[in-house]
Structure 1
Amino acid sequence: MPPECLAPEYVGSLFDVPIPMSVGDWVPDRPDHLNDWIQEMLKDIDKDGCPITHPAVLEFKNDIESDPELFMGFHRIFENVPERDPLGRLQVKDYLTMLSLFQRFMGDAPSWNPRFLVFLPFTTVLQWPMSMSNGFTILINRRVNDHFRKIFAVWLKFLASSQSNYVLHEGCDGWLSPEAMENMPKFKETFVCDPGEPHWGFTSWNHFFARELRPGARPPSNPDDDRIITSACESKFLRKAFSVTTRDQFWMKNQPYSLVHMLNNDPLASSFVGGTVYQAFLSPYYYHRWHSPVEGTVVKTQGQQPFLSHVATRALIFIQARNPNIGLMCFIGVGMVEVSTCDITVEPGQVVKKGQEIGTLHFGGSTHCLVFGPQVKLEFLNSTNEVIPAQLLDCPIDRVEAHL
């Protein structure tokens, strides 16, 4: 790695404890790095003055200042945030600073950083309030979520535009650099791209993020053995639960969901009582399209935003496996804390092959679940501790077998 790409080594401090948002590498695993990043962002808006002018952010500001409940709530959520952390770094202490940062982020695409990545800028700003009861209360307010939805819609439009491709280059902070590619092996051979074209042919950040496989790349594992259930995503094992009950709790995106909540109270949820839930998460480096883990028929699909719209965007795809001993299963794609679109590309009644693409996530999707009925007893054929599961043969894979 070129010396100019290296940040100074961290010497250590009081902040050596990983935080939940670091799962999947969406934010640094050490809070001191987050605080360093916030410090830089605060310097930027202080230097520019950063008056709030963007219509979506200005509307949010006006709503906070005209509504007594929101005005009090957004003052209270910053009351317990220290002015500076123990190392003397400034913190976000008021809603105006928060909104100024939000406005800045709306024109930024995620840059690759050899030291650490911050993919969740909005969440990073709210890391203190989100961990406190008064912050949680105001952030689940429906009007507040409506404003977040509008802001994220603007950001998503930017990330899908050609303006966002400035981070797609081969320099030391670019996603196409040799150093970044070390985290995405065989990229040129695996994904549709043209290194001879500007930005390797990617037209936007989201185009890169939701990149497509080249024809024939990564064929599905054991396509003709319907006892083998392959992973639906390139992802890393997080947790599994057996003999689940209707009201069991599973932690998806740091929010508790019972089986019926995960499946949005769908009548088909009863089919999975006594069954198994397998959950794995995706990294920013991973391939973000979904593939059918079984051969079968799509029974039902559903997209939803049931709780915090910026926390739990989800997609449900119910598939009746060809193998009757597997029967009905469900794929759940879970969107990002911030911007994400769960794009389902199959329809009810459609027959899908094992490994066939069934949907994708556009900047988001850090976790997914596979849900099976009680008739399916899963045996993991590879270790779930370190392996990155994928249904694709030239990745390290973690397959699961239905004992029939």
Structure 2
Amino acid sequence: MAPSYQQRIASDPQYRGVPPGMLILHRFGGWLPRDHRVLEKWLKKRIAKIDDRRKKGTKVALDPVIQEFQEVIESNPPIYMGFHEMFNQVPDKPPYNNDPTGKPQVRDYTVMLELFDEIIKTAPEWENNDLVGFPINAIIDWPMGTPAGYSMFTTDKVNEQFKNMFDVWVTFLTSPDSRYVIPGWIPHIPNFIDLYQCDPTDPYYGFTSWDDFFTRKFKDNVRPVDLDNGSISSACESAFLARVPNIKERDSFWLKGQPYSLADILNYDNTYVPQFVNGTIYQAFLSATKYHRWHSPVNGVIEDIFNVPGTYYAESPSAGFDPSAPDLSQAFITAMAERAIIYIRSEYDPIGLMAFVAVGMSEVSSCEITVHKGDTVQKGDQLGMFHFGGSTHCLIFRPETQLTWVPREQHDDVLLNEEIATVVPA
């Protein structure tokens, strides 16, 4: 029997010698270091700066968007209480008296906000050959697992403030000032120059900003596609997560096992939800170093498009205090997080209508749709892209669409435009 994903990670020479309890095997996509000690050093430096300023009595002018976040917390009694309770509800005993990085738990929302203020002025970078790509998750991971944290991170006013904060961060990430980290990323992306459109003679490989680098394009013919109507191609460069038949219209997506809840995923749309009840859902997630654009899995016409606002840091209550809880909540967030929904009507009748759902996860998970209603698309044509942020996606098929799936194990890599299923003719 082939080794499991967790066994492969545990046997990786990079993690040889990592102490028990410090190697997190379920961190999918590489957005946070699997070795907690890397995060420990990363957060230690930032908390030390805050502590030093406070000891010296140095006042820091927070960015206006962080000041606004603080005002929302302090001027709304339920939110003020929630941002105290989410820290107080973290058990005051090992291991919860240390945060996921091993440092003393951040138990004060003012420290949290000062850390946010630092983060939105930087770009994600590598430290000790590992990536700290979800810095906000590193700060609030334990509070996210509390009842008060769940309540706060599903509150519209709080998510509006995260969105405002992320808009400021995106302004930095789309500026030339954010390019400084790009050279540090290139060694971690195999065959970068061969795969991606870039200028290797330029210090920043021809990219104008961090966002320009993150949304980079493949070179022509790197990911060829078979235009045959009789197959479904992979919409993203991703890793297989799940394939589930007989999707219910409504289900308890917050429980252990996180069943898919079609009405919640498709934003309660009475036109489309009934057409997919008892159909099949396919989900795969994107890794930090991979390509982040989406492409059509079928030939057809764009029937409808929607951007759905949602949460950023709500995690499944069934994940509890697991430091990998955001990664372990991927099915849950299909019903909760910000997402883009694209309905495509295949020109091949045995497929008919299908849905592509791009789901943002955690920081700056912007979903940009680049097609329009009525557009004709071929397999492999671009549909849109994720801007900086963790991300997962789903393909949803009607019960009438009969498919024979290419066998996959969880976490198997699936290349963009690779065949994932063949269609059984009607």
- TM-score, normalisation: structure 2: 0.82
The secondary structure found in structure 2 opposite 1:366 is strand
Aligned to 1:289: 293
2:189 counterpart (161, 166, 181):
181
| Aligned with residue 268 of structure 1, among 266, 272, 280 | 272
Aligned counterpart, 2:63: 54
Q: How far apart, CA to CA, are the structure 1 residues paired with 2:100 and 2:200?
A: 46
**Distance in 2 (alpha carbons) for counterparts of 1:64 and 1:386:** 39
Q: Secondary structure at the match of 1:168?
A: helix
Whole-angstrom CA distance in 1 between matches of 2:160 and 2:259: 22
Which residue identity lines up with residue 298 of structure 2 in the other structure? V
Matched, 1:384 2:409: yes
Task: Give the residue type in structure 2 aligned to 1:55.
Answer: P
Contact 1:237 1:385 in 2 (8 A): yes
| Aligned 8 A contact 1:38 1:91 in 2 | no
Which of 114, 136, 156 aligns to 1:100? It is 114
- Relative distance call for 1:62 and 1:256 in structure 2 (3 A) is farther
Say whether 1:136 aligns with 2:147: no
Contact 1:16–1:31 (Cα < 8 Å) also in 2: yes
Query: How many Å separate the matches in 2 of 1:305 and 1:255?
Result: 21
Aligned CA distance change for structure 1 residues 373 and 250 (closer, same or farther; 3 Å): farther
Q: TM-score, normalised by structure 1?
A: 0.86
Compute the displacement of 1:249 (Å): 5.3
Secondary structure at 2:413 match in 1:
coil
Q: What is aligned with 1:3?
A: none
CA–CA separation in structure 1 for the residues paired with 2:165 and 2:220? 36
Of residues 179, 189, 204 in structure 2, which corresponds to 1:165? 179
- TM-fit CA distance, 1:216: 3.2
Q: Is the 8 A contact 1:303 1:315 kept in 2?
A: yes
**C-alpha displacement of 1:114:** 4.8
After superposing the two structures, state which structure 1 stretch, 27-36 or 202-211, moved more: 27-36
Tell me how far apart the structure 1 counterparts of residues 108 and 50 of structure 2 sit (CA, whole Å).
14
1:367 to 362, 377, 392: 392
How far the C-alpha of 1:76 sits from its partner, in A, is 1.5
CA contact (8 A) 2:123 2:178 kept: yes
Of 233, 238, 242, 2:236 maps to 233
2:240 maps to amino acid: F
Where 1:69 maps in the other structure, the secondary structure is helix
Question: What residue is the counterpart of 1:66 in the other structure?
Answer: 75
Q: 1:213 aligns with which of 215, 218, 221?
A: 218
* Matched residue type, 1:176: I
Q: 3-state DSSP class of the match of 1:158?
A: helix
The offset of 1:384, in angstroms, is 3.5
Q: 2:100 touches 2:141 (CA, 8 Å); kept in 1?
A: no
Identity %: 39
Name which of structure 1's ranges 102-111 and 139-148 shifts more when overlaid on structure 2.
139-148
CA distance in 1, matches of 2:411, 2:280: 21
- Is contact 2:38–2:127 with CA below 8 Å preserved after alignment? no
Q: What SS does structure 2 have at the residue aligned with 1:335?
A: strand
Greater Cα shift, 188-197 or 254-263: 254-263
- What one-letter code is carried by the residue in structure 1 that aligns with 2:247? V
Note closer, same or farther for the CA distance 1:233–1:199 as it changes in structure 2 (3 Å cut): same
Alignment of 1:82-101 (within 5 A): 82=92, 83-84=97-98, 89-101=103-115
**Does structure 1 residue 243 correspond to structure 2 residue 257?**
no
Q: Which runs of 5+ in 1 are unaligned?
A: 1-5
In 1, Cα distance between the equivalents of 2:44 and 2:16? 17
Q: Deviation digits for residues 335-385 of structure 1, max 9, x if unmatched?
A: 121202211111111110111111111112510000001122332224334
- Find the counterpart in structure 2 of residue 335 from structure 1: 360
Distance in 2, matches of 1:384 and 1:87, equals: 30
Query: Is 1:75 the equivalent of 2:84?
Result: yes
* Larger RCO (alpha carbons 8 Å, 6+ apart): 2
Code of the residue aligned with 1:175 in structure 2: it is: W
For 1:113 and 1:401, the matched residues in 2 are separated by 42
Residues of 1 paired with 2:366 and 2:100: CA distance?
A: 38
